[in-house]
Amino acid sequence: MSQQDFAIGIDIGGGSTKIGLVSTGGEIVERRRVVVGDTDDADTIVAQYAETVRDILGAHPAARVLGIGIGFPGRIHPDNLSGDLGNIPALDDFPLAERIGGLFSLPARMENDGTAAGLAEAMFGKDRAARRLLLIAAGTGIGVALTIDGKPFITSGGGLGNAGQLIIHGSDGRPCRQGCVGCLESLASGDALNGIARRYCVEVPDSPLARRASDHGREADASDVIATALAGDAAAKAMLSDVGRWLGRGAATWAQIFAPDVILLGGGLSAAGNLLLAPLEQEARLSGLNLYLAPVRFALASLGNDAGIIGAAAQIFPTTKP
């Protein structure tokens, strides 16, 4: 495999799908964004994705493309060609990877998006030297991925099962969007922080958070909490600190099960940086067994939003680690 080899990465996200041409060195050399309609059927979506892939390949006619990798925000079926419980109902149980790969006569594979992001960090992130790397992808929901020696460790559904649904409060807690009650996702995800922000703005309508949201003509959400906290607002910082502490309990539990060398915080909420990471680490160390937590280093994920595209493509690349 030479440095001229590439793969297409398709990262199916909440509002849009990001498609890029990624080198075996982990560099995105071309990228596009596709917005899929809620009512589009699978054939229409395949056609949109294929047109975008053609466009990207047309811009790099000399690139040798090894295959097409898809990051899918849901469970992955054992064939790695399809999945379910994603955010685009038309793609549930649809052989998306097989269809797109077939159109270009290229190998294609589908992986859970959190697992793909973990793979990207393990292969190309600044902590790629870690043998056991655990990524907490805290976005709308909470994804958790483990790589061992650069390979994803899978228990079920293309990832660590549904590790973001760690039950913390139990049946006296809030229900999450996936349907369990009192789980970590109901307390510490972007969805949870949206709810915390909205309840706070009703109580304190003249707060910086409420003013920022009304300036934008919408309800407050997690991005407003992060922006307001980064600008120094104590109430928003306290919200992030609470969320960070919940994530820290999750981190302690996962550390006690998987014994990672490094725990990375990624996903949209990681834009809060140390305002989220510091309480996360502190709570994990206070609550978890020192035997498991002492060897763990906590850090922010280094690839940001690009981890999704890079990791989707990276499943096509052979791992270079032993």
- Told to check if 185 binds Zn ion by CB under 5 A, we report yes
Which residues have C-beta within 8 Å of that of residue 301, sequence separation ≥ 6?
Answer: 117, 121, 125, 135, 137, 264, 265, 266, 267, 270, 307
Q: Is 180 in the site for Zn ion (CB under 5 A)?
A: yes
> What's the closest the beta carbon of residue 280 comes to Zn ion, in angstroms?
19
What is the number of other CB atoms lying within 10 angstroms of the CB of residue 253? 18
Q: How far is the CB of 198 from Zn ion (least distance, A)?
A: 19
Please choose, out of 50-58, 125-133, 179-187, 253-261, the segment that lies near Zn ion by the rule CB under 5 A.
179-187
**Spatial separation of the C-alpha atoms in residues 287 and 252, rounded to whole Å:** 7
Cα three-residue angle 141-78-10, rounded to 5 degrees: 55
Out of 183, 192, 209, 265, which residue is the one contacting Zn ion (CB under 5 A)?
A: 183
CB of 307 to Zn ion, least distance (A): 23
Comparing CB distances to Zn ion, the nearer of 63 and 183 is 183
What is the DSSP code (8-state) at residue 167?
B
Shortest distance (Å) from residue 246 CB to Zn ion: 13
- CA atoms of 213 and 210, how far apart (whole Å): 5
Q: With contacts defined by CB under 5 A, name the span among 3-11, 33-41, 162-170, 210-218 that binds Zn ion.
A: 162-170
Lateral strand order in the sheet of 108-112: 28-34, 17-23, 5-12, 64-72, 108-112
Considering only residues 106 to 145 of the shown chain, the ones binding Zn ion according to CB under 5 A are none
Nearer to Zn ion, 26 or 267 (CB): 267
Which residues contribute to the site for Zn ion (CB under 5 A)?
A: 165, 176, 178, 180, 183, 185
